[in-house]
Structure 1
Amino acid sequence: MEHAHGNPLFNKPLTAYVGQGQTRPLTSSDKPAPSRRQVSAKTKEAIAKLGLRYRPTSQTDLEAHAGQLAMLATDLHDLPVDLLERAIGDWSIKSPFMPKAFDLVQLAKSYLAKAHPQQREVTTDWVDVARRRNDRMNADPEARRGVRWVANSTGVNLELDPTYRTDMDRFMGKLHDGTATARDVDRAPEVWRKIAEERGYLRRFDDGAFVIRERRCENVGL
């Protein structure tokens, strides 16, 4: 979308200054600016949709999440909605992290900067970029799991990680390999044990206790 008045991101109103010792007569327009920034309904709607994409898994974090969204909407109140929605869409596809206002503003600026095709992007080592992003994601306990950054000839993309194993996957693997102990079974969540029972790894007694099912040799001669 083209903006008739140039880049709208950082337009600031001009302030009339007076010389030292001089005063300016008050007029009806000299009212103090409102203390709170006015956030449009469309901006609130765009930020609300962003919040749904990065909704926390813990119920105790919902209040903090709502406060973070409210601050984000306030910080981005003057960003054109069409640029904001485009930035949110692009960010959600490429990153597992909740964006900061700075991140979305930088994306919005990049759309306007494309009007200067003579500026070519500097060659980047995408493998190194992917490695740094994976390190950052692995170090963050709240980051999305089961995905990884993968480099290609044009950049980096977020893809599912086929090597990722959850705690339940490791529990089932130990049962399958025959290395699981009774303590592993006792410490496993109830839902894991029920799944293991359905898969034939565990046996459940009438009192609800689970034990590892003994394997029988399929070859009669052995």
Structure 2
Amino acid sequence: MATRYLDDQGINPIFAGRALTLPSTCDEQREQPRRATVPPIIGEIIANLGLRYRPSGKADLEAHAEALVLLAEDCADMPPPLLDSAARRWARESKFMPKASELREAALAVQADAVRGSDVGTEQLRAHCDKLNAMSWVRQSRRPFIISQRQADDKIIRFVDRAA
């Protein structure tokens, strides 16, 4: 004989007096997702960029404002001077509003240009090494070194290029 767990109304006595409602999955007061904090200087840079690419319609203004907020959140971790330079370069070179990835690529290009101008010492060293490599340092095929200077004790100070 099977044991019956339900009472006469078809309710399990363990749950008698309790409401059998499930928790609602659509609350009226949903919690808004937390947005990343954007430094004010980043917000100002993105706002200036947004003013350069202003949409025409009113409905587009709201979408444009939301896109600017998202762009500022995506670029919040970039150094402000680098972001400003990248935004200015983008405004000069493109007629469309950038995405965050495009602004990051522009910032990398700005950074590479800044570094490229500062390696003058490396270029001078490379030119000096090329000059040294072009000089005759060993005796080849019975031809003596070409010597530019000698000291009194017959010590060789400097070699010069054979072509010179």
TM-score by length of 2: 0.48
Larger RCO of the pair (alpha carbons < 8 Å, separation 6+): 2
Higher-helix-fraction structure? 2
**TM-score of the two chains, using structure 1 as the length reference:** 0.36
**Larger gyration radius, structure 1 or structure 2:** 2
